[in-house]
Amino acid sequence: MNKELKEKIDEVVKSLYKNGAKHEETDRLTKEMFAIPATPEEKHEAGQYLREAMHNRKREDVDSQDVLDESSDTGIFHQ
């Protein structure tokens, strides 16, 4: 996975922890994150990394699948 995408995913997870899923900053970062992957392989790898990062988070009230569902009309990170 490219460095830019990994860093953007990390930013999204930090914003989720700080602000929650339904926050303007989280939404902006998530849209930027979804714009980066170019290939199906990158999308799959990014989805896996996001799931792992969300799983390791400290907020139990934010569900990673809900974030993916709400943020992606195209479902690009879904398996």
Q: Judge whether residue 11 has pLDDT over 90.
A: yes
Nearest-5° Cα angle at 35, 29 to 38: 140
Buried b (16+ CB within 10 A) or exposed e, 18-37: eeebeeeebbebbeebbebb
In a domain, 24, yes or no: yes
In a domain, 62, yes or no: yes
Q: Per-residue confidence at 76, pLDDT binned at 50, 70, 90?
A: very low
In a domain, 27, yes or no: yes
pLDDT for 72 equals 54
In a domain, 79, yes or no: no
pLDDT for 6 equals 94
- The 10s digit of each residue's pLDDT in 20-63 is 888 999 999 999 998 998 899 998 999 899 888 888 875 566 66
pLDDT for 67 equals 60
In a domain, 77, yes or no: no
